Structure 1
Amino acid sequence: MRADRQVYRYDVTVLAVLALVLLLAVEGNTQALVPIFAIGVFIGFALSQIGVVRHWRLERGPG
Structure 2
Amino acid sequence: MPYVNVKITKEGTTAEQKGEIIAGVTELLQRVLNKNPATTVVVIDEVETDNWGIAGEQVTHRRIKGK
The TM tier, using the shorter chain, reads 0.3 to 0.5
TM-score, normalised via structure 2 length? 0.33
Higher helix content, 1 or 2: 1
Higher strand content, 1 or 2: 2
Asked which structure has the greater CA Rg, the reply is 1
